[in-house]
Amino acid sequence: MDIVDTHIHVFNSLLPLAPERRYAPSYDATMADYFRRGRAAGITRAVLVQPSFLGCDNSFMCAELQKHPGALRGIAAIPPDIAPDTLADLRRTGVVGIRLNLDGLPLPCFHQPQWRSLLAQLARHDMLVEVHRDARDLRELIPPLLDAGLRVVVDHFGRPDDALGCEDTGFRYLLSQAASRRVWVKLAAGYRNGWSDPAAAAAVEAGALLLEHFGADRLVWGSDWPHTRHEESNDIPGTLAALGAWVPSAEQRHTILGASAMQLFGFES
């Protein structure tokens, strides 16, 4: 069985950092280290997500993609005015989508010409868009992406408000988007929603509702390795085991870990 980890980061501490960042690592997270840990947990494929603190310089990630084309795919961070040839080069390297990491940032103005052009380019290359933003703003973010013909992946359970939990109207909106069949949700890093215990009631409830509305074939799992800013309390086996609390059915977990992620991120069987 293929097990796909759809959310990992690789970097080293000597890389140039983005001028505006919330965090800077003091250690290296190498592909060799991940392979050692991931393969011990049974993971066979992984998706590299560009770390926010490296900005839009995807070169380190792309170098790893080129070394392991069968085992890795990439999600890049790019400026909206990226040159078409540069986007095409990323696609050929193994980048299958981009991430809008909007945590604490202004929302994009998708009606602007540069954004309309970018979304059209992404659609032409069959590239998906991952969205990292609090649930309350998903109503503004998801429709323009779907209208552009794109597939959308929503990070970290949709980021419901800690206090509201699954009653967050943004989370409820996310559930309503399951009917499109072009939205996926990533079950990853519940600790970024304030759920330090993977079996916390809010996490279990969110997992159950997402499974009920989206189905296992529109959910994927990620370890969030190396768990930046949460390194001491998490590891790959623990985050993989947490999926059992969110999705009790072994058959459904099999789909989430395997077929759903394999198809979404373009891995060959």
SS3 of residue 153 by DSSP: strand
Instruction: For 247-256, write each residue's pLDDT tens digit.
Output: 999 999 999 9
**Residue 68: CA count within 13 A, CB half-sphere:** 15
Can you give the pLDDT at residue 191? 83
Give the tens place of pLDDT for each residue, 26-65: 899 999 999 999 999 999 999 999 999 999 999 999 999 9
Read off the pLDDT of residues 155-183 as tens digits, 9 standing for 90 and up: 999 999 988 999 999 999 999 999 999 99
pLDDT exceeds cutoff 90 at 89: yes
Q: Which residue has better confidence, 23 or 148?
A: 148
**What is the predicted pLDDT for the residue at 72?**
98
**What CA–CA distance (Å, rounded) separates 241 from 191?**
14
Predicted confidence band of residue 232 (pLDDT cuts 50, 70, 90): confident
Confidence check: pLDDT of 123 > 90: yes
Residue type, 4: V
CB atoms within 10 A of CB 174: 26
End-to-end CA distance of the chain: 10
Closest CA to 134 of 108, 105, 176: 105
Residue 205 pLDDT class (50, 70, 90 cuts) = very high
Distance CA 55, CA 215 (A): 33
The maximal CA–CA distance of the chain, rounded, in angstroms, is 47
Q: What is the pLDDT of residue 146?
A: 98
Estimate the crossing angle of helix 84-93 against helix 113-124, to 10 degrees.
30
The pLDDT value given to residue 196: 77
Q: Is the pLDDT of residue 114 over 90?
A: yes
Mean pLDDT of 199-219: 95
Q: Is pLDDT of 22 > 80?
A: no
DSSP sequence for 47-109: EEE--GGGTT--HHHHHHHHH-TTTEEEEE---TT--HHHHHHHHHHTEEEEEEE-TTSPPP-
Q: Is the pLDDT of residue 24 over 90?
A: no
Task: Tally helices (H) and strands (E) across the chain.
Answer: 10, 8
Q: Residue 176: how many CB atoms within 10 A of its CB? A: 12
| C-alpha–C-alpha distance, residues 204 and 193, integer Å | 13
Contact of 182 with 146, CB cutoff 8 Å: yes
- Cα–Cα distance measured from residue 104 to residue 120, given in angstroms and rounded to the nearest whole number: 26
pLDDT score recorded for residue 199: 77
What is d(CA 95, CA 43) in angstroms, rounded to the nearest whole number?
A: 20
